[in-house]
């Protein structure tokens, strides 16, 4: 599917925890065509000063209903305005943008690591891997128990609870998700079923540290990089990422990159 600028109608918009919200939007074309890891560029019509669209991953989709879900953290002008959107509001989105996760065809076991709202772009990938009978282990990290808003959804997708860590120790392992990555690598090795592939999304220090551990263990690893985006379609160069093969645009050459290619900031 090429890029389309489409109408999107809000179906639901609810607060999950503090500044974490889940919005359901009707947009049949995106629901039908989105590939795991791709994103949409959403218009925030209430903004007068900053008219740029905002990039969001698709957390989930219902192809039959023609709807998609966006899990968002209210952090600035646009995302705070989105909290006020009522069902029925009509906006626009450009999609489906970017390079999706690319799982090697012979993958038998995969590890997915999501920190904070970084868990969002991994859910469709998790569904796809489960449907292809790939063994999947999921690690989710958050600041505190309430912020582990994706836990139940992943449990439903995988049929078992993901391994969780919280910075404050209120749920799962206390500390950063990297501790769980080290444990998962050791367990997979001991079981004689090492990971063939890993996908990591979250704060940059987590992606950097986790991908380092994974690559040292010989696991092919991809990360989803966030950069401030203006056009979102490859024209303005506001989103450049330094890679081993030169400067790349996060919007159209990414947002998924091979971790070994990324020159971390």
Ligand X SMILES: Cc1cc2nc3c(=O)[nH]c(=O)nc-3n(C[C@H](O)[C@H](O)[C@H](O)COP(=O)(O)OP(=O)(O)OC[C@H]3O[C@@H](n4cnc5c(N)ncnc54)[C@H](O)[C@@H]3O)c2cc1C
Binding residues for ligand FES (CB under 6 A): 229-232, 234-239, 249, 251
Q: Are 69 and 61 in contact (CB under 8 A)?
A: yes
Site stretch for ligand X (CB under 6 A), options 122-130, 167-175, 178-186, 225-233: 225-233
* 237 touches ligand X (CB under 6 A): no
12 contact choice in ligand FES, ligand X, none (CB below 5 to 8 Å, kind-dependent): none
CA contacts within 13 A on the Cβ side of 157: 26
Q: Give the nearer residue to ligand X in terms of CB position, either 1 or 186.
A: 1
Q: How far apart are CA 187 and CA 254, in angstroms?
A: 31
Q: Helices 204-216 & 177-190, crossing angle to 10 degrees?
A: 20
115 contact choice in ligand X, ligand FES, none (CB below 5 to 8 Å, kind-dependent): none
3-class secondary structure, 147: helix
73 contact choice in ligand FES, ligand X, none (CB below 5 to 8 Å, kind-dependent): ligand X
* H or E element at residue 6: strand 4-17
3-class secondary structure, 89: coil
Q: Are 139 and 166 in contact (CB under 8 A)?
A: no
Site string for ligand X, 39-58 (x = CB under 6 A): x----------x-x-xxxx-
In whole angstroms, the minimum distance from the beta carbon of 16 to ligand X comes to 11
Q: Give the nearer residue to ligand X in terms of CB position, either 57 or 91.
A: 57
DSSP summary character for residue 38: -
Q: Are 69 and 24 in contact (CB under 8 A)?
A: yes
Q: Give the nearer residue to ligand FES in terms of CB position, either 188 or 251.
A: 251
Site of interaction with ligand X (CB under 6 A): 39, 50, 52, 54-57, 71-73, 75-79, 117, 120, 226-229, 255
């Amino acid at each position: 599917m090429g890029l389309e600028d489409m109408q999107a109608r809000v179906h639901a918009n609810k607060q999950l925890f503090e500044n974490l919200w889940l919005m359901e939007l009707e947009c049949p074309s995106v629901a039908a065509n989105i590939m795991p890891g791709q994103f949409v560029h959403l218009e925030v019509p209430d903004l007068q000063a900053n008219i740029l669209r905002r990039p969001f991953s698709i957390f989930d989709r219902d192809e039959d209903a023609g709807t998609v879900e966006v899990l968002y953290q209210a952090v600035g002008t646009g995302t705070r305005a989105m909290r006020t959107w009522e069902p029925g509001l009509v906006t626009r989105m450009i999609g489906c943008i970017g390079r999706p996760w690319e799982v090697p065809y012979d993958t038998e076991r995969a590890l997915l690591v999501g920190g904070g709202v970084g868990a969002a772009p991994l859910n469709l990938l998790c569904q796809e891997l489960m449907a292809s009978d790939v063994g999947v282990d999921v690690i989710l990290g958050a600041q505190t128990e309430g912020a582990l808003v994706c836990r139940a959804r992943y449990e439903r997708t995988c049929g078992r609870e993901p391994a969780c860590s919280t910075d404050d120790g209120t749920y799962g392992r206390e500390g950063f998700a990297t501790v769980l990555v080290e444990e998962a690598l050791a367990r997979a090795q001991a079981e004689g079923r090492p990971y063939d592939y890993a996908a990591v999304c979250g704060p940059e220090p987590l992606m950097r540290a986790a991908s380092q551990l994974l690559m040292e263990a010989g696991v092919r690893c991809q990360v989803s990089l966030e950069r401030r985006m203006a056009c979102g379609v490859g024209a303005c160069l506001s989103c450049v990422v330094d890679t081993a093969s030169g400067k790349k645009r996060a919007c159209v050459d990414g947002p998924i990159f091979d971790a070994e290619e990324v020159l971390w900031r």
